[in-house]
Amino acid sequence: MQRNVNPSADSPAASPARLAKAERDELRRLQIANALARCVLRTGFHRASMAQVAEEAGMSVGQIYRYFPSKEAIIGFLVEQIVAARLAWIDAAPTAQALAESLAADTPAPRPPGAPTPPPGTLDAYALAGERALLLEIQAESARNPAVAELVKAADLKLHARAVATMRSQQPALSQAQAALRVEIVASLAEGRLFREGIGPALDRQQLVPLLRRVVDLLFLPD
């Protein structure tokens, strides 16, 4: 479920003095994760130091370490938020048309119908899931950092399993193996689009969506 907690330390409505300790801790974690995301988008993971994150969050480095033991732990929290957003989209059981439109769009995890829009300053997992640069930075870091690689792998396994279950509920004729192969193809299309969006030629989405819809329709057919 999307957390509508405003991490802005200046918000009177979210004054830490008025919150229980668990809520206050969650507020701070969101505030720190939001700060890391902004730093990463400006400079990349390697240049985003804990000192920079602390400055961005309006906190001291010592305060950061009270909530996260390392930068990798903050990345893990960000990945959890992104996974939650994508799981919510999968659980909404998107139609073939919605899936084709998602593959053609910049955002791989559109906000499900009825999902609340967080207030300004909130760590919005749906926006993070659609942030191409942040996702690519996480992927690149996973190639260098074994700890981040494990986080990304675990997230992928969770998403893959949920997507397979959803596909089988929509297409009972598909076996587990058949559904798993189809989900992997869809994931490859989505990640390929994510990468190509930044370096490939501009595409006419009005023409792209019908082509992707034909691909999706083929995938939903039993062997």
Domain coordinates of the chain in residue numbers?
12-219
Q: pLDDT band at residue 153, thresholds of 50, 70 and 90? A: very high
Convert 117-134 to b/e letters by CB count within 10 Å (16 or more is b).
Answer: ebeebbbbbbbbbbbeeb
Nearest to 190 by CA among 115, 101, 93: 101
Half-sphere exposure of 49 (CA within 13 A, CB side): 5
The whole-model pTM stands at 0.73
Kindly report, residue by residue over 116-142, the tens digit of the pLDDT: 555 444 455 555 555 677 888 888 889
Kindly report, residue by residue over 158-186, the tens digit of the pLDDT: 999 999 999 898 888 889 999 999 999 98
Nearest to 130 by CA among 159, 101, 107: 107
Candidates 1.10.357.10, 1.10.10.10, 3.40.50.1000, 2.160.10.10; correct CATH number of 12-219?
1.10.357.10
- Residues of the chain with pLDDT > 70, as a percent, come to 78
